[in-house]
Protein backbone atom coordinates (compact mmCIF):
# COMPACT_ATOMS: atom_id res chain seq x y z
CA UNK A 1 0.00 0.00 0.00
CA UNK A 2 1.32 3.44 -0.95
CA UNK A 3 1.26 6.07 1.81
CA UNK A 4 2.65 9.51 2.49
CA UNK A 5 4.95 10.20 5.41
CA UNK A 6 7.02 13.04 6.87
CA UNK A 7 10.68 12.39 7.64
CA UNK A 8 13.39 14.47 9.28
CA UNK A 9 15.16 16.04 6.32
CA UNK A 10 17.89 17.92 8.20
CA UNK A 11 18.85 19.02 11.69
CA UNK A 12 18.76 22.73 12.55
CA UNK A 13 21.80 22.34 14.82
CA UNK A 14 21.73 22.71 18.58
CA UNK A 15 21.57 26.50 18.39
CA UNK A 16 19.58 26.78 15.16
CA UNK A 17 15.99 27.83 14.66
CA UNK A 18 13.85 25.08 13.08
CA UNK A 19 12.33 25.75 9.67
CA UNK A 20 9.74 23.89 7.61
CA UNK A 21 12.49 22.56 5.34
CA UNK A 22 13.89 20.47 8.20
CA UNK A 23 11.06 18.08 7.31
CA UNK A 24 10.31 16.33 4.02
CA UNK A 25 7.11 14.77 2.68
CA UNK A 26 7.67 11.58 0.72
CA UNK A 27 5.88 8.52 -0.58
CA UNK A 28 6.49 5.16 1.01
CA UNK A 29 4.81 1.76 1.27
CA UNK A 30 3.46 -0.45 4.03
CA UNK A 31 2.46 -4.11 3.90
CA UNK A 32 -0.90 -5.00 2.38
CA UNK A 33 -1.63 -7.45 5.20
CA UNK A 34 -1.34 -7.25 8.97
CA UNK A 35 -0.13 -9.83 11.46
CA UNK A 36 -1.71 -11.15 14.65
CA UNK A 37 -1.91 -8.42 17.30
CA UNK A 38 -1.57 -5.63 14.76
CA UNK A 39 -4.01 -3.00 13.49
CA UNK A 40 -4.00 -0.83 10.40
CA UNK A 41 -4.95 2.72 11.26
CA UNK A 42 -5.69 5.84 9.25
CA UNK A 43 -4.21 8.95 10.84
CA UNK A 44 -6.67 11.69 11.78
CA UNK A 45 -4.74 14.11 14.01
CA UNK A 46 -1.12 14.74 14.91
CA UNK A 47 0.12 16.84 17.81
CA UNK A 48 2.99 19.28 17.26
CA UNK A 49 4.73 20.21 20.52
CA UNK A 50 7.67 22.35 21.72
CA UNK A 51 9.49 19.38 23.30
CA UNK A 52 9.97 17.99 19.78
CA UNK A 53 12.66 20.62 19.19
CA UNK A 54 14.92 18.50 21.41
CA UNK A 55 14.25 15.44 19.24
CA UNK A 56 15.69 17.25 16.21
CA UNK A 57 19.15 17.08 17.81
CA UNK A 58 21.36 14.00 17.70
CA UNK A 59 21.52 14.28 21.48
CA UNK A 60 18.14 15.25 22.94
CA UNK A 61 19.66 16.21 26.27
CA UNK A 62 17.11 13.98 27.99
CA UNK A 63 17.11 10.37 29.07
CA UNK A 64 13.42 9.92 28.17
CA UNK A 65 13.40 11.43 24.67
CA UNK A 66 14.81 9.60 21.65
CA UNK A 67 16.17 11.66 18.76
CA UNK A 68 14.51 11.56 15.38
CA UNK A 69 16.77 9.99 12.76
CA UNK A 70 17.56 11.64 9.44
CA UNK A 71 15.41 10.37 6.55
CA UNK A 72 13.32 8.35 9.02
CA UNK A 73 9.66 9.03 9.80
CA UNK A 74 9.03 11.44 12.68
CA UNK A 75 6.56 10.55 15.40
CA UNK A 76 4.67 11.98 18.36
CA UNK A 77 1.16 12.15 19.76
CA UNK A 78 -1.42 10.98 17.24
CA UNK A 79 -5.01 9.85 16.89
CA UNK A 80 -6.45 7.61 14.21
CA UNK A 81 -9.25 5.26 13.32
CA UNK A 82 -8.84 1.50 13.03
CA UNK A 83 -9.43 0.28 9.45
CA UNK A 84 -8.48 -3.37 10.04
CA UNK A 85 -7.70 -5.24 13.24
CA UNK A 86 -6.14 -8.51 14.31
CA UNK A 87 -6.03 -7.43 17.96
CA UNK A 88 -8.57 -8.88 20.38
CA UNK A 89 -9.46 -5.58 22.07
CA UNK A 90 -9.70 -3.33 19.01
CA UNK A 91 -12.22 -3.38 16.17
CA UNK A 92 -12.70 -1.59 12.88
CA UNK A 93 -14.04 1.90 13.54
CA UNK A 94 -12.42 2.32 16.96
CA UNK A 95 -10.64 5.59 17.64
CA UNK A 96 -7.18 5.09 19.14
CA UNK A 97 -4.28 7.18 20.41
CA UNK A 98 -0.53 6.73 20.81
CA UNK A 99 2.27 9.07 21.80
CA UNK A 100 4.68 7.46 19.36
CA UNK A 101 2.39 7.76 16.34
CA UNK A 102 4.29 7.91 13.02
CA UNK A 103 3.76 11.01 10.92
CA UNK A 104 2.18 9.19 7.99
CA UNK A 105 -1.25 8.85 6.45
CA UNK A 106 -1.74 5.14 7.21
CA UNK A 107 0.24 2.91 9.56
CA UNK A 108 0.40 -0.65 10.85
CA UNK A 109 0.81 -0.57 14.64
CA UNK A 110 1.00 -2.97 17.56
CA UNK A 111 -2.51 -2.93 19.03
CA UNK A 112 -1.22 -3.43 22.56
CA UNK A 113 0.50 -0.02 22.40
CA UNK A 114 -2.71 1.83 21.52
CA UNK A 115 -5.33 3.26 23.85
CA UNK A 116 -8.98 3.20 22.81
CA UNK A 117 -10.75 6.55 23.05
CA UNK A 118 -14.28 7.46 24.13
CA UNK A 119 -15.26 10.56 22.09
CA UNK A 120 -18.22 11.33 24.36
CA UNK A 121 -15.82 12.25 27.17
CA UNK A 122 -14.74 15.33 25.20
CA UNK A 123 -18.08 16.12 23.56
CA UNK A 124 -16.87 14.52 20.33
CA UNK A 125 -13.75 16.72 19.97
CA UNK A 126 -11.30 13.86 19.43
CA UNK A 127 -8.28 16.13 19.06
CA UNK A 128 -8.76 17.27 22.67
CA UNK A 129 -7.22 13.94 23.72
CA UNK A 130 -3.94 15.31 22.33
CA UNK A 131 -4.30 18.51 24.34
CA UNK A 132 -6.68 19.51 27.09
CA UNK A 133 -7.67 15.92 27.89
CA UNK A 134 -4.25 14.47 27.13
CA UNK A 135 -0.62 14.95 28.11
CA UNK A 136 -0.90 18.74 27.82
CA UNK A 137 -3.82 18.96 30.22
CA UNK A 138 -2.22 16.43 32.53
CA UNK A 139 0.98 18.49 32.59
CA UNK A 140 -0.94 21.60 33.60
CA UNK A 141 -3.14 19.89 36.20
CA UNK A 142 -0.51 17.66 37.80
CA UNK A 143 2.12 20.39 37.66
CA UNK A 144 -0.14 22.68 39.65
CA UNK A 145 -1.15 19.94 42.08
CA UNK A 146 2.30 18.44 42.63
CA UNK A 147 4.57 21.49 42.41
CA UNK A 148 2.32 24.55 42.77
CA UNK A 149 1.02 23.92 46.29
CA UNK A 150 -2.19 25.78 45.48
CA UNK A 151 -4.66 25.89 48.35
CA UNK A 152 -8.24 27.17 48.09
CA UNK A 153 -8.77 30.24 50.26
CA UNK A 154 -5.06 31.04 50.54
CA UNK A 155 -5.38 34.17 48.37
CA UNK A 156 -2.59 33.09 46.04
CA UNK A 157 -1.54 34.90 42.87
CA UNK A 158 -0.40 32.81 39.91
CA UNK A 159 1.58 34.07 36.92
CA UNK A 160 1.78 31.99 33.72
CA UNK A 161 4.36 32.61 31.00
CA UNK A 162 3.71 31.34 27.49
CA UNK A 163 0.14 31.77 28.65
CA UNK A 164 -1.53 31.53 25.25
CA UNK A 165 0.19 28.27 24.36
CA UNK A 166 -1.21 24.77 24.69
CA UNK A 167 -0.16 24.23 28.29
CA UNK A 168 -0.21 27.81 29.55
CA UNK A 169 -3.77 28.52 28.46
CA UNK A 170 -4.95 25.50 30.44
CA UNK A 171 -2.68 26.13 33.43
CA UNK A 172 -4.15 29.54 34.15
CA UNK A 173 -7.68 28.20 34.08
CA UNK A 174 -6.78 25.19 36.20
CA UNK A 175 -4.98 27.41 38.71
CA UNK A 176 -8.23 29.29 39.15
CA UNK A 177 -10.27 26.09 39.44
CA UNK A 178 -7.83 24.76 42.05
CA UNK A 179 -8.15 27.89 44.18
CA UNK A 180 -5.90 30.75 43.03
CA UNK A 181 -7.56 34.10 43.64
CA UNK A 182 -5.67 35.94 40.90
CA UNK A 183 -4.19 34.71 37.61
CA UNK A 184 -2.02 36.82 35.31
CA UNK A 185 -0.75 35.63 31.93
CA UNK A 186 2.23 36.72 29.85
CA UNK A 187 1.94 36.42 26.05
CA UNK A 188 3.34 37.96 22.89
CA UNK A 189 0.45 39.68 21.09
CA UNK A 190 -2.54 41.85 21.96
CA UNK A 191 -4.82 39.21 20.42
CA UNK A 192 -3.47 36.52 22.72
CA UNK A 193 -3.75 38.75 25.76
CA UNK A 194 -7.34 39.59 24.86
CA UNK A 195 -8.27 35.91 24.49
CA UNK A 196 -6.70 35.07 27.86
CA UNK A 197 -8.77 37.68 29.65
CA UNK A 198 -12.05 37.66 27.73
CA UNK A 199 -12.33 33.96 26.92
CA UNK A 200 -10.23 32.05 29.43
CA UNK A 201 -10.88 33.99 32.60
CA UNK A 202 -7.41 35.36 33.36
CA UNK A 203 -7.59 38.50 35.49
CA UNK A 204 -5.02 40.25 33.32
CA UNK A 205 -2.43 39.60 30.63
CA UNK A 206 0.86 41.29 29.76
CA UNK A 207 2.14 41.67 26.20
CA UNK A 208 5.87 41.20 26.80
CA UNK A 209 6.73 42.52 23.34
CA UNK A 210 5.08 45.89 23.99
CA UNK A 211 4.97 46.36 27.76
CA UNK A 212 7.48 46.56 30.60
CA UNK A 213 6.92 43.17 32.24
CA UNK A 214 8.46 44.12 35.59
CA UNK A 215 6.39 47.30 35.83
CA UNK A 216 3.18 45.53 34.84
CA UNK A 217 3.78 42.72 37.34
CA UNK A 218 4.20 45.24 40.15
CA UNK A 219 0.93 46.84 39.11
CA UNK A 220 -1.07 43.64 38.50
CA UNK A 221 0.38 41.56 41.36
CA UNK A 222 0.72 44.11 44.20
CA UNK A 223 0.99 41.34 46.78
CA UNK A 224 3.75 39.58 44.85
CA UNK A 225 3.68 36.22 43.05
CA UNK A 226 2.96 32.98 44.92
CA UNK A 227 2.91 30.46 42.05
CA UNK A 228 4.73 30.77 38.73
CA UNK A 229 3.89 28.36 35.90
CA UNK A 230 7.05 28.67 33.83
CA UNK A 231 6.82 27.71 30.15
CA UNK A 232 9.55 29.92 28.73
CA UNK A 233 12.58 30.52 30.96
CA UNK A 234 15.03 33.27 30.05
CA UNK A 235 14.59 36.97 30.78
CA UNK A 236 10.84 36.78 31.34
CA UNK A 237 11.23 34.12 34.02
CA UNK A 238 14.05 36.06 35.68
CA UNK A 239 11.72 39.06 35.89
CA UNK A 240 8.89 37.04 37.42
CA UNK A 241 11.15 35.29 39.93
CA UNK A 242 12.46 38.65 41.14
CA UNK A 243 8.88 39.50 42.25
CA UNK A 244 8.02 36.18 43.88
CA UNK A 245 7.19 35.93 47.58
CA UNK A 246 8.98 34.01 50.28
CA UNK A 247 8.12 30.27 50.25
CA UNK A 248 6.55 30.56 46.79
CA UNK A 249 6.71 27.93 44.06
CA UNK A 250 7.87 27.67 40.44
CA UNK A 251 6.26 24.98 38.31
CA UNK A 252 9.04 24.22 35.86
CA UNK A 253 7.01 23.08 32.85
CA UNK A 254 9.09 24.18 29.86
CA UNK A 255 11.85 26.54 28.77
CA UNK A 256 10.94 27.25 25.18
CA UNK A 257 13.13 30.36 24.97
CA UNK A 258 16.13 28.10 25.61
CA UNK A 259 15.31 25.20 23.26
CA UNK A 260 17.42 26.58 20.40
CA UNK A 261 20.43 27.03 22.69
CA UNK A 262 22.99 24.46 23.74
CA UNK A 263 22.33 24.67 27.48
CA UNK A 264 21.46 22.04 30.11
CA UNK A 265 17.86 21.48 31.19
CA UNK A 266 16.66 23.08 33.30
CA UNK A 267 18.91 26.01 32.40
CA UNK A 268 20.76 27.55 35.35
CA UNK A 269 19.50 30.88 36.65
CA UNK A 270 21.69 34.00 36.53
CA UNK A 271 23.59 34.43 39.82
CA UNK A 272 21.47 37.36 41.05
CA UNK A 273 18.21 35.51 40.35
CA UNK A 274 19.52 32.31 41.89
CA UNK A 275 20.37 34.31 45.01
CA UNK A 276 16.78 35.59 45.20
CA UNK A 277 15.46 32.07 44.75
CA UNK A 278 17.56 30.70 47.60
CA UNK A 279 17.06 33.63 49.97
CA UNK A 280 13.28 33.53 49.56
CA UNK A 281 13.11 29.71 49.66
CA UNK A 282 11.42 29.54 46.27
CA UNK A 283 11.03 25.96 45.05
CA UNK A 284 12.16 25.28 41.46
CA UNK A 285 12.10 21.54 40.89
CA UNK A 286 12.13 19.77 37.57
CA UNK A 287 8.63 18.51 36.73
CA UNK A 288 8.03 15.55 34.43
CA UNK A 289 4.43 14.45 34.01
CA UNK A 290 5.53 10.91 33.13
CA UNK A 291 6.53 10.47 36.78
CA UNK A 292 2.88 10.76 37.85
CA UNK A 293 1.18 8.31 35.52
CA UNK A 294 -0.43 6.54 38.52
CA UNK A 295 -2.66 9.62 38.69
CA UNK A 296 -3.39 9.74 34.97
CA UNK A 297 -6.82 8.11 34.85
CA UNK A 298 -8.40 10.18 37.62
CA UNK A 299 -6.81 13.36 36.29
CA UNK A 300 -8.04 12.80 32.71
CA UNK A 301 -11.56 12.23 34.02
CA UNK A 302 -11.33 15.51 35.96
CA UNK A 303 -10.18 17.36 32.83
CA UNK A 304 -12.99 15.82 30.78
CA UNK A 305 -15.54 16.81 33.42
CA UNK A 306 -14.36 20.42 33.34
CA UNK A 307 -14.55 20.39 29.53
CA UNK A 308 -18.08 18.98 29.57
CA UNK A 309 -19.16 21.56 32.15
CA UNK A 310 -17.66 24.41 30.14
CA UNK A 311 -15.24 25.29 32.96
CA UNK A 312 -12.18 24.61 30.84
CA UNK A 313 -12.04 26.55 27.58
CA UNK A 314 -10.00 24.88 24.86
CA UNK A 315 -8.21 26.58 21.98
CA UNK A 316 -6.58 24.80 19.06
CA UNK A 317 -4.64 26.03 16.05
CA UNK A 318 -5.56 23.54 13.35
CA UNK A 319 -3.45 23.12 10.21
CA UNK A 320 -4.79 20.86 7.45
CA UNK A 321 -2.67 18.39 5.53
CA UNK A 322 0.31 16.21 6.36
CA UNK A 323 2.35 18.25 3.87
CA UNK A 324 2.04 21.26 6.18
CA UNK A 325 3.38 19.66 9.36
CA UNK A 326 6.80 21.29 8.90
CA UNK A 327 5.24 24.73 8.53
CA UNK A 328 3.08 24.05 11.59
CA UNK A 329 6.20 23.14 13.58
CA UNK A 330 8.02 26.29 12.48
CA UNK A 331 5.01 28.46 13.34
CA UNK A 332 4.68 26.89 16.79
CA UNK A 333 8.37 27.43 17.60
CA UNK A 334 7.96 31.07 16.57
CA UNK A 335 5.01 31.46 18.93
CA UNK A 336 2.46 31.68 16.14
CA UNK A 337 -0.21 29.39 17.57
CA UNK A 338 -2.90 29.97 20.16
CA UNK A 339 -3.58 26.88 22.24
CA UNK A 340 -2.67 23.45 20.97
CA UNK A 341 -1.01 23.06 17.57
CA UNK A 342 -2.78 20.23 15.73
CA UNK A 343 -2.32 18.92 12.19
CA UNK A 344 -5.50 17.51 10.65
CA UNK A 345 -4.27 14.69 8.43
CA UNK A 346 -7.62 13.33 7.25
CA UNK A 347 -11.27 13.76 8.13
User: b or e along 233-265 (b: 16 or more beta carbons within 10 Å of the residue's beta carbon)?
Assistant: beebbbbbbebbbeebbbbbbbbbbbbbeeeee
Across-strand partners of 230?
252
User: Cα separation of 78 and 115, whole Å?
Assistant: 11
CA nearest neighbour of 128 among 153, 161, 95: 95
User: Cα separation of 97 and 322, whole Å?
Assistant: 17
Q: Does residue 261 surpass a pLDDT of 50?
A: no
Q: What DSSP state is assigned to residue 63? A: S
- pLDDT score recorded for residue 265: 62
User: Cα separation of 52 and 22, whole Å?
Assistant: 12
Q: Does residue 263 surpass a pLDDT of 60?
A: no
Q: Domains of the chain (ranges plus CATH)?
A: 2-131+315-344 (3.90.180.10), 135-290 (3.40.50.720)
The pTM for the full model equals 0.91
Give mean pLDDT, residues 277-288: 92
Side-by-side strand order, sheet with 157-161:
204-207, 182-187, 157-161, 225-230, 244-252, 283-286
Per 3-state DSSP, the chain is made up of helix, strand and coil in percentages (nearest 5) of: 35, 30, 40
- pLDDT score recorded for residue 259: 46
CA Rg, the chain, in Å? 20
- pLDDT score recorded for residue 256: 59
Amino acid sequence: MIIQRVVLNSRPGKNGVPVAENFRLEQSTIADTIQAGQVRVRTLYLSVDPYMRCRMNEDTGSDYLLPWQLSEVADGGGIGIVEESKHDNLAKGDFVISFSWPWQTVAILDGSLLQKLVPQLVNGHLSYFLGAAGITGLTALLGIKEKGHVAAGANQTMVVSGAAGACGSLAGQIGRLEGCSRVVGIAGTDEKCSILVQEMGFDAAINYKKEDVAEQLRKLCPGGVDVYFDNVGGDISDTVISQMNRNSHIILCGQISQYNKDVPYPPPLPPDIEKIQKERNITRERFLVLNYMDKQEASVLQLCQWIQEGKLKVRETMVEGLANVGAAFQSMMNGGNIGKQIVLVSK
